[in-house]
Amino acid sequence: MRRWTTALAAVILAAGVGATTVPAASAVTAGTACATGWGSLNRQDQTVPYQPQALANIRTGVQECFDRLVVDVPGTSAANPLSYRVHYMGGNAIYQAGSGTPIPVRGGDVLEIVVGAATYDPSTWEVVYPGRAGNPLPGVDLTGYRTFVDTRFAGSFEGETQFGLGVRARLPFRVFQLDNRLVIDVAHSWGSSA
């Protein structure tokens, strides 16, 4: 039986090589400690004085204990932070700022993310991020993710950009800033191990 299982696994592996690209994630073994006691309450920093900034990109990745979303905003830093609001909606939609139009987002729950950066260059009005209201975030493919299910762009309104992140369930998340980017991690589970 063991030879049959090994042979079958080898055939499946050989057939699948190159067929699909899935985000690389380190293997989580039983007992791997994942410090995910972040909770699921709202996170925000709106104390930052308004400074016109342009959103360059939104990208994602899979980590061992969480899925990660990164919002790239050049010029932000500890000395020049980005304002943001991140919170669970308790449903399957976000509501577009300005119009109130519901934008459906797939998943067990939805994180609404609003950042203090526009999708256009404030000095030239040239579009620098090609998001379209109601559509998935450009260039983001969530195939193979454990927690992230869907993304939906809502738009830029009065210098802020809004989008939704559909997740498998209401799970702990954290938000922090590094130079030129805002990072949002959503845990794969509530427990201390993955």
What is the Cα–Cα distance from 154 to 160, expressed in whole angstroms? Answer: 11
What is the Cα–Cα distance from 140 to 20, expressed in whole angstroms? Answer: 16
Task: Indicate the pLDDT class of residue 162, thresholds 50, 70 and 90.
Answer: very high
**Mean per-residue pLDDT, 105-119:** 96
Task: Tell me the two tokens of residue 19.
Answer: 């067929």
**Mean per-residue pLDDT, 108-132:** 94
What is the Cα–Cα distance from 164 to 153, expressed in whole angstroms? Answer: 6
Task: Indicate the pLDDT class of residue 12, thresholds 50, 70 and 90.
Answer: very low
31 or 130, greater pLDDT:
130
**Mean per-residue pLDDT, 31-37:** 73
Strand partners, 148: 167
Task: Indicate the pLDDT class of residue 117, thresholds 50, 70 and 90.
Answer: very high
23 or 107, greater pLDDT:
107
**How many beta carbons lie within 10 A of that of residue 183, not counting itself?**
13
> For position 47, what pLDDT does the model report?
72
> For position 192, what pLDDT does the model report?
58
pTM recorded for the entire structure? 0.81
Domain 2-187 has CATH 2.60.40.3500: yes
123-160 burial, b if ≥16 CB within 10 A, otherwise e? eeeeebbebeeeebbeebebeebbbbbbbbbbbbeebb
What's the distance, Cα to Cα, between the start and end of the chain in Å? 30
> For position 36, what pLDDT does the model report?
75
What is the Cα–Cα distance from 140 to 128, expressed in whole angstroms? Answer: 16
Report the mean per-residue pLDDT for the chain.
84
> For position 45, what pLDDT does the model report?
85
Choice among 51-55, 136-140, 151-155, 165-169 with the minimum mean pLDDT: 51-55
Residue 151, pLDDT above cutoff 60: yes
Task: Indicate the pLDDT class of residue 16, thresholds 50, 70 and 90.
Answer: very low
pLDDT digits (tens, 9 = 90+) for 51-93: 778 999 999 999 999 999 999 999 998 888 999 999 999 989 9
Inter-residue contact 55 to 114 (CB < 8 Å):
no
If DSSP codes are grouped into helix, strand and coil, which group holds residue 12? helix
Please report which helix (H) or strand (E) contains residue 78, including its range: none
